[in-house]
Amino acid sequence: MMAAITAAETGASVTLLEQSNRLGKKLRITGKGRCNLTNACDRDTFFENIPTNPKFLYAAYAAFAPEDTMSFFEGLGLPLKTERGRRVFPTSDKAADVVATLEKRLRQLNVTILFARAKEVLTEDGRAVGVATNKGDYSADAVILATGGKSYPLTGSDGSGYAIAKAVGHTILSPTPSLVPLTSPSKVCQKMQGLSLKNVSLRLVENASEKVVFEELGEMLFTHFGLSGPLVLSASAHLKSGAKNAYTVHIDLKPALDEETLDARVRSDFVKYQNRDFCNSLGDLLPEKMILSMIETVGIDGRKKVNSITREERERLVKTLKNFVIPISGTRPIDEAIITRGGVNTKEINPKTMESKLLRGLFFAGEIIDVDAYTGGFNLQIAFSTARLAGAAAAEGL
């Protein structure tokens, strides 16, 4: 939509093909229905949040940065607000308002919207001359492929664009899930499924190197298959693609307290509940759903009286509260990922125009390109920035 708007603003007559039955299906579910459309950060922070091919995006960022996204939407009458972590949302908290703003602009610019499925790019003499769709062929002076990744395929982004790009000679770097829930063989997750922990610190450690690849404070969730929630999705972006049983999650359940202070807190609870069974003494420290798993992990008999718990046992409890360990077997499938890592090889795209280096008149924008970012509005900003370049360059070349 952004590419179509930009091409139309640059003076081209534009047709937008959409295979789904409405525009912006994925956009409507972004940011839990609120659409975190960009991040109002500085340049350095922006690129720190892009683990894959950041340099490829330098020109796109220079042409259309987060402040440009904000002015663009505000200029079209959509008020925005900036929240924690510089995340930008519509003031209405409605992702549908972002889609409506884009749709209104498309209409203003007389962009033709066709609900049809693109099947291939038509070529002649080494340049793109149109698109073949399930509803017939359409000729064009330039084609922009902005078909997204292949996660959440029910939104329409089913990865069909990869085959279209491949058919004209592009290399597709294997699409893998990122920003995706993590799976664990540990029964503990199943037992605590549904439990959400707030204000915990999560560390993701690579087993072989013992390197901490991610560490952050926030919210997470136990599920029947393993772990999910914002912290876990962010952590998943740091996993090497396809790695199996190669990582461990370490949760600090009491990040605000150092071990000594936490030990003092546990001792005071143990004095308060000295005549209770151990299993009935942890209610002030932990959510109900976690107590049994904690007891099993620490390895103290739940029926043991608190006043007979040894110092060594108490210290073990404190250590486990500071470092609750969950082995990670891998990720959930790409269907459940927020974004797709991989896609059209950036080496085959001109970063200043988003034009294919293999086929003149073919341009790329958005998640179909092999770029991805962490959570925080960066992925949509990438889509907007690349679309802006592609739309303008496609129209200017006419």
Ligand X SMILES: Cc1cc2nc3c(=O)[nH]c(=O)nc-3n(C[C@H](O)[C@H](O)[C@H](O)COP(=O)(O)OP(=O)(O)OC[C@H]3O[C@@H](n4cnc5c(N)ncnc54)[C@H](O)[C@@H]3O)c2cc1C
Where do contacts with ligand X occur on this chain (CB under 6 A)? 17-20, 25-27, 29-31, 35-36, 117-118, 146-148, 151-152, 156-157, 160-161, 338-339, 366-367, 377-380, 383
One-letter amino acid at 277 equals: D
Choice between 6 and 320, CB closer to ligand X: 6
Neighbours of 261 (CB within 10 A): 12
Cβ of residue 113: shortest distance to ligand X, in angstroms?
A: 11
Least separation in angstroms between CB 380 and ligand X: 3
Quick one: 39 or 183, whose CB is closer to ligand X?
A: 39
Residue among 353 and 386 whose Cβ is closer to ligand X: 386
Least distance (Å) between residue 317 CB and ligand X: 38
User: Which residues are CB-contacts of 59 (< 8 A; sequence separation ≥ 6)?
Assistant: 351, 352, 389
Nearer to ligand X, 30 or 353 (CB): 30
Question: Which residue type sits at 253?
Answer: L
Residue with Cβ nearer ligand X (140 or 383): 383
User: Least distance in Å: CB of 30 to ligand X?
Assistant: 3
Q: Which is nearer to ligand X, 273 or 364 (CB)?
A: 364
Q: Which residues contact 112 (CB under 8 A, 6 or more apart)?
A: 14, 15, 16
CB of residue 161 vs ligand X: minimum separation in angstroms?
Answer: 5
Tell the smallest beta-carbon distance from residue 230 to ligand X (Å): 11
Closest CB 384 distance from ligand X, rounded Å: 9
Interatomic CA distance for residues 301 and 335, integer angstroms: 42
Contact assessment for residue 305 and residue 352, using Cβ atoms and an 8 Å cutoff: no
Comparing CB distances to ligand X, the nearer of 2 and 300 is 2
Return d(Cα 70, Cα 79) in angstroms, integer: 9
Nearer to ligand X, 130 or 148 (CB): 148
Shortest Å, Cβ 198 to ligand X: 20
Residue 25, beta-bridge partner list: none
